[in-house]
Amino acid sequence: MFLIIQAAGWPIWPLIASSILAMALIIERFMSLKTAKIAPPKLLDEALSVSRTTVPSAEVVSQLEQNSALGEVLASGFRALHADPLCSETDLRATMEGSGRVVAHRLERYLNTLGSIASAAPLMGLFGTVVGMIEIFGSQTPSGVATGGNPAQLAHGISVALYNTAFGLIVAIPSLIFWRYFRGRVDEYLLTLELSAERLARHLIALRK
């Protein structure tokens, strides 16, 4: 592996750094976007059950808030009624929407960075290719015959060009795949949070009547 890095020349180091960063982000997102941490399947039903007749106590709401991202959104609706039992439907929905935006921002964290790596890696590989081509042309003799120039410099230029092109694609392709995968998961979670918040809002409005 070290021989490959050495043959690729200095332009490959930004690509190596990008690959390490991309791997770290992918692992972090896999850990953070687990269903149990974002939207446990039965949490909404449990929230509706404990509030069937009245708004649950502050302790129960705190436990719900710490449960998951969905729990945080649902708890914001309960807290709105704790703060003002007569709050309007508009204020209740606005409070839950505000909490949802905070959660959405947290779910989308690092996705832009991963997408940027997917876009920039081929360009960094292309830059390495250009550097390699410059070294190839630098090995030319004044007459333009490459074989009459420096063979070692010519071979090194070819290695730099090819290795950087390949490594740029190796970094970009998985980064793009995982970016699209995480983007889809986040969109699915956000839809779940939105529908759950709407259902709880209707329940709380009906509870006050």
Q: For residue range 104-114, what is the model confidence (pLDDT) as tens digits? A: 999 999 999 99
Structural domains in the chain (count): 1
Record the tokens describing residue 175, joined without a space.
């980064």
> For residue 25, what are the contacts with CB-CB under 8 A and spacing of at least 6?
110, 113, 114, 117
Closest to 206 measured CA to CA, from 65, 71, 53: 53
Query: Which residues in the chain land under pLDDT 70?
Result: 1-9, 138-153, 156, 209
pTM beyond cutoff 0.75: yes
User: What's the farthest any 2 CA atoms get from each other in the chain?
Assistant: 93
CB 197 within 8 A of CB 73: yes
Distance CA 76, CA 65 (A): 8
- Cα dist from 164 to 12, 136, 137, 139, 176, whole Å: 6, 14, 17, 19, 18
Which residue range forms the structural domain that includes residue 70? 2-208
Report which residue type is found at 78. F
Distance CA 169, CA 174 (A): 9
What does the DSSP 8-state code read for residue 139?
T
Distance CA 33, CA 30 (A): 6
Q: What is the pLDDT of residue 8?
A: 61
What is the 3 state secondary structure string of 39-104? CCCCHHHHHHHHCCCCCCCHHHHHHHHHHCHHHHHHHHHHHHHHHCCCCCHHHHHHHHHHHHHHHH
